Amino acid sequence: MRIHHLYSGGKDSSLSAWILRRIGYDVKLVTVSFGTLDSWRFARETAERLGFEHSVLYLPGEILERAVRIAVEDGHPNNAIQFIHERALEALASLPEVERVSDGTRRDDRVPFLDLPKARSLEDRFGVAYVRPLLGLGYKTIRELTERLFVVEIRESEELEKSDYEVELRHLLREKGIDPLEIFPREHYQSRVLGWREGNLKGKE
């Protein structure tokens, strides 16, 4: 039972990858890149430390260009991130070898998030199962599980070495002479998993 899991190296996508493995899936981590930066390397590094297979899925630069236009029009990144995530899931689900796709979206997320009609549409259009292990978990539960499992680094998004969509989105904004801080909220903290917590044998199974 192979599953392809969209992976950023953050705690949500790492926790959901671990849950998928614990319930019997052969988990392949996939990080999206538009090729403007090699920020996917941080996800690769975390994937290797956690013992998962990892690959990079390159998406067309036009998707990032369009996301930048959306973010600038809105003055806010939410719809842009939602747009990229939907295209990333579709690109992954359309690969011939992919039967199951998953991500680390959670109950309390506003974006990226597929509502029920969108989730079913993804499954129907591409003939895949779409699995979200964290959807039924609140922040307390996610916190207690990640604290038990991982060593996590939490920093402001601008400083963190990460592989999520934001990194290339911020980069392209800067290239276009736009300060990302005009679009992204200040004090926006994000996480990166550095490895298993010492003595944690569960994760290594």
Q: Name the residues that contact its own copies, by CB under 8 A.
A: 1, 18-19, 22-24, 100, 105, 107-108, 116, 119-120, 123, 129-138, 140-141, 144-145, 148, 202
Structural tokens at position 67: 């996301």
Task: In angstroms, give the least distance from the CB of 68 to its own copies.
Answer: 30
The residue among 116 and 177 lying less far from its own copies, judged by its C-beta, is: 116
Nearest approach, Cβ of 138 to its own copies (angstroms)? Answer: 6
Closer to its own copies by CB, 103 or 168: give it: 103
| Lookup: tokens for 188 | 């926006």
Shortest Å distance, C-beta 136 to its own copies? 3
Nearer Cβ to its own copies (37/119)? 119
Residue number with CB closer to its own copies (24 or 75):
24
The Cα 102–Cα 129 span in angstroms is: 8
